[in-house]
């Protein structure tokens, strides 16, 4: 079914959270892997549309379904300060911290508790970061590239000097996709990619 890209609306929130869970297992459906499917969205999607709705776009089908999104921040350290101080405290009772992060769910919860300014060394040279998720039915339409290019254009317009992102090492297709967009593997721990932007013309 033909699809189009448009800016995020608050009415997309539930769909964005659902898409996050349905693509969280290296691009495959992660529903049921954790005891609470909402944890995926609470970490990797919804805080971004709350903090930066102006840096979020969705893929919408002709019949009005939301089937993909991109969300981002233009300042990782500022975002993680807000995440630590304002976003995550509301989830502390729902997702208590384990004494030792043993299971996958423990590690996801720990991720929430660890967000703070300075935790991501790549944020110095690549201050923006993003999350992008698309349901399988979007494939083959070039929508992932269009979402990325839409975000890149806005970050360039704002004068943001660079963007980083992390990928699941089990998602081989993601690395090739980002490399086709001009992103390069960054040194250091984790599977991180980065891209720099030319300053927008005055």
- Cα 184 versus chain centre, distance: 18
Q: Given this structure, which CATH class describes domain 3-142?
A: alpha beta
Note the pTM of the prediction, 2 decimals: 0.94
Query: If DSSP codes are grouped into helix, strand and coil, which group holds residue 147?
Result: helix
pLDDT tens digits, residue range 24-57?
998 899 999 999 999 999 999 999 999 999 999 9
Domain boundaries, the chain: 3-142
Judge contact between 40 and 71, C-beta under 8 A. Answer: no
pLDDT, position 1: 60
pLDDT tens digits, residue range 134-159?
998 887 789 999 999 999 999 999 99
Closest CA to 28 of 173, 189, 193: 173
Sign of CA dihedral 115, 121, 126, 132: negative
pLDDT, position 202: 47
pLDDT, position 98: 96
pLDDT, position 200: 54
Low-confidence ranges of the chain (pLDDT < 50): 201-202
pLDDT, position 187: 87
- Cα 57 versus chain centre, distance: 12
Edge-to-edge, what's the strand order for the sheet holding 66-73?
Answer: 3-7, 56-61, 66-73, 128-134, 162-166, 192-196, 184-185
């Amino acid at each position: 079914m033909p699809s189009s890209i448009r800016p995020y609306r608050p009415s997309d929130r539930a769909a964005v959270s659902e898409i996050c869970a349905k693509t969280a297992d290296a691009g495959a459906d992660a529903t049921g892997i954790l005891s609470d499917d909402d944890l995926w969205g609470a970490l990797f999607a919804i805080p971004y549309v709350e903090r930066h709705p102006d840096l979020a776009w969705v893929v919408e089908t002709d019949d009005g379904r939301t089937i993909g999104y991109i969300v981002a921040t233009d300042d990782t350290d500022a975002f993680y300060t807000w995440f630590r101080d304002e976003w995550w405290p509301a989830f502390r009772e729902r997702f208590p911290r384990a004494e030792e992060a043993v299971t996958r769910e423990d590690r996801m919860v720990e991720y929430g508790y660890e967000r703070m300014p300075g935790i991501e060394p790549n944020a110095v040279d690549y201050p923006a970061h993003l999350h992008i998720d698309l349901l399988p039915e979007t494939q083959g339409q070039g929508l992932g590239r269009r979402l990325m290019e839409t975000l890149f254009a806005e970050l360039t317009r704002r004068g943001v000097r660079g963007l980083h992102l992390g990928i699941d090492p089990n998602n081989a297709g993601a690395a090739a996709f980002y490399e086709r967009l001009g992103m390069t593997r960054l040194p250091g721990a984790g599977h991180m990619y980065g891209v720099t932007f030319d300053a927008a013309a005055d």
